[in-house]
Structure 1
Amino acid sequence: MNHSTSNQEEKLPFSQWNPLVAENFVKEWEGLRLKAYKCSANTLTIGYGHTKNVKPGQTITKQQADKYLKDDLTEHAEALSKYVTCKLTEGQYIALLDLAFNVGVGAVAKSKTLELLNAGKIEEAKKGFLSFAKQKMKDKNGNILRDEHRRIMYEVVNGLMNRRKAEVALM
C-alpha cells in the first residue's frame, strides 16, 4: 500500500486552499471582455465575469480584469468557506469555487449539492452540479414562463452544461 499522497489527492479544509488555484479554470470559462456587456442572465458584466458596480459602456484594461478576478475569487471563497464543512481535493475546490463564482455563493450555500458534498457523497454531489445548468424560461417579452401548476419552467443551457461537466471532471 502506497501512503504517499500527490497534490491531486491531498484534501484540505476549504479555507486552506488558495482561491487563485481556480483562476485559470474560471478564465477559460468566462472569457475576457474589456467592455461592459449583458451576460445571458441580463447582468452587466466586464472582464472575466465581474459584475460588481459595472457601468454601461465601461471599459477596463487586462490588468484591471485580472485584479477584479483575483478579488472576486477571494471574496467568493471567503463567503463560501463558512458553508463547506468537508475537506476537498484541489479539483473539488476549483469545481466548487467556480460553481459559486458562476451562480452565486447563496445558491451554492443553500443547495442540496453542497449538502451532499459535505456529507462525503461525491457521486451524488457531481449529479447535483449538473442541476445548475438551467435557466428560467422566458417568453419574447421577458416574462418568466410557468407550467399548468404555476411552477417556473427551466431549460438547460448548453454552455452552462458544458461548464458543469468540466467542473465535475475535476472532482
Structure 2
Amino acid sequence: MSTIVNIVSRSKHIFLYGILMAVLIFVLKWLQFKFLILDNSFDIYVGLIAVFFTVLGVGVAMHIGKPRVQTIVVEKEVYIHQADALDHSELIKLNLSKREYEILQLIVKGNSNAEIADKVFLSVSTVKTHVSNLFVKMDVKSRTQAIEKAKRLKITI
C-alpha cells in the first residue's frame, strides 16, 4: 500500500494534468457537438423528419400489405357421368371387325398410329390400313370426324 502512495505522491502532477486534459477534451467535444447542432439544426431536423416518415411509411406498408386472402376449401361430391351402354345395333350396321373396333377405341383415347401399333402388336402400316378401312366404313375423312361419329353413335366406351 505504501508503494502505491509513493507512486501517487511522486506523480501527483502527472495525474492532475491527465485529469485536467480529459475534462478539457470532454468540454471541447461537448462544445463542438453543441455548435454542430446549432450550425446544422435545419439539416438535422429535416433528417429526423425524413427518418420519422420513413419508419411511418414502412409501418403503414406492413399493415396494409398483409394479404387478406382467405383460402376456403369446399368439399363437394362430384358425379361422373357414366357412359351409356354400347349401341350394338350401330356396331352391326357399320360392320366393323374386332380389330377395327379395337383401333377405333384407341383412336378415341387419343393414341397415334405408332402408339396403336405398339399396343396391338402390329406394324404401323397395318394400323394405317385398319384406320383407312375404318374411315371408309364410318364414312368419315379424319380422326376427329371418326371420334365425333363414334361418340354420337354411342359405340365407344
TM-score (norm 1): 0.20
More strand by share: 1
Larger relative contact order, structure 1 or 2 (CA cutoff 8 Å, min sep 6) = 2
Larger Rg: 2
Normalized against structure 2, the TM-score is what?
0.21
Larger proportion of helix = 2
